[in-house]
Structure 1
Amino acid sequence: MAKSKLMEMHNVGIVVESLDSAIAFFSEIGLTLEGRMMVEGEWAGRVTGLGHQSVEVAMMVTPDGHSRLELSRFITPPTVADHRTAPVNALGYLRVMFRVVHLDELVTRLMTKHNAQLVGEVMQYENVYRLCYIRGTEGLLIGLAEELEAK
């Protein structure tokens, strides 16, 4: 029997209330909408353990084509918990971090166009990165990191 091996990380799932707002926000960061569709029926509920479900899904892909965010809006069953405003030291999934260029310009644009809020400060880690956390659309915690050029 062949041993399994990891090939790649395909996507990270994020549940949102408004797919349109989330698509606009992640498009502003630089992801592209790869597709949008309804996922419903017994087969999907058997995968998630939720039973019959109806979910609208949008797949966003990074410019290199290797990473994706699966944005989901549950119609049925309704969402039962909200972890979006949990602090960075809460248990569970924390945030998605993106490597970007022109960090300051992007943060300003996200704050202006999408009401994003800076969580702390934009900080520099040694001579490697400038980075920050923001609360984006619907309060989602997003990390942004700009790689510094070696000098």
Structure 2
Amino acid sequence: MTKNRLLRMDNVGIVVESLDDAISFFSEIGLTLEGRGTIEGEWAGKVTGLGNQHVEVAMMVTPDGHSRLELSTFIKPSVIEDHRTAPVNALGYLRAMFTVEDIEEMVERLIKKGAQLVGEIVQYENSYKLCYIRGAEGLLVGLAEEIGDKKDKA
């Protein structure tokens, strides 16, 4: 018998309060709004286990077209928990990592838009510069810039 195999990862989903703020933030990083719409009804609730739900969704896509971020804001049922202020080492904590051309310039731009650098920009060997920032609504985002050996192979 042949083992079922993974075909791809379609997206990562994040629930937000303000879809507009989240779209603006991730657009500043370089993602493009691919589509926006409303999902409602019992069929959707059967997938999530929430029953009859009403959600506004925005799908953001990376420049290479391979990765997507699904931003959702729940109209019904209302949000019951908020994990945005949880520390990075909290179980189940979510962060998305993006590779950028110039990490210092990106961080500077995002700070002007209200983001906060979590620690500092660090260099890992001769491969990457890395940092975490808290962006729209306190969402944790990682940024990486390939340098040295990695960049030369690109």
Q: Which category describes the TM-score, using the shorter chain as reference length?
A: over 0.9
Given residue 128 of structure 2, which amino acid in structure 1 is its aligned partner? Y
> 1:26 corresponds to which residue?
26
**Identity value in percent:** 72
State the aligned residue count: 150
> 2:131 corresponds to which residue?
132
Render the CA deviation track for 1:24-55: whole Å, top value 9, x for unaligned.
00000000000000000010000000000000
Shift of 1:103: 0.6
**1:39-58 residue pairs with structure 2 within 5 A?**
39-58=39-58
Moved over 6 A (4+): none
TM-score normalised by structure 1 residue count:
0.96
Shift of 1:5: 1.0
Given residue 136 of structure 2, which amino acid in structure 1 is its aligned partner? T
Given residue 123 of structure 2, which amino acid in structure 1 is its aligned partner? Q
> 2:16 corresponds to which residue?
16
Is contact 2:39–2:54 with CA below 8 Å preserved after alignment? yes
SS at match of 2:17: coil
Superposition CA RMSD, Å: 1.2
In structure 2, C-alpha distance between the alignment counterparts of 1:65 and 1:39, rounded to whole Å: 23
Specify every segment of 5 or more residues in structure 2 that has no aligned partner in the other structure, as ranges. Answer: none
Given residue 86 of structure 2, which amino acid in structure 1 is its aligned partner? A
> 2:70 corresponds to which residue?
70
Specify every segment of 5 or more residues in structure 1 that has no aligned partner in the other structure, as ranges. Answer: none
In structure 1, C-alpha distance between the alignment counterparts of 2:107 and 2:61, rounded to whole Å: 20
SS at match of 1:85: coil
In structure 2, C-alpha distance between the alignment counterparts of 1:12 and 1:93, rounded to whole Å: 13
TM-score normalised by structure 2 residue count:
0.94
Given residue 135 of structure 1, which amino acid in structure 2 is its aligned partner? R
Shift of 1:2: 5.5
> 2:148 corresponds to which residue?
149
Given residue 24 of structure 1, which amino acid in structure 2 is its aligned partner? S
Shift of 1:86: 1.0
In structure 2, C-alpha distance between the alignment counterparts of 1:62 and 1:149, rounded to whole Å: 24
> 1:118 corresponds to which residue?
117
Given residue 41 of structure 1, which amino acid in structure 2 is its aligned partner? G
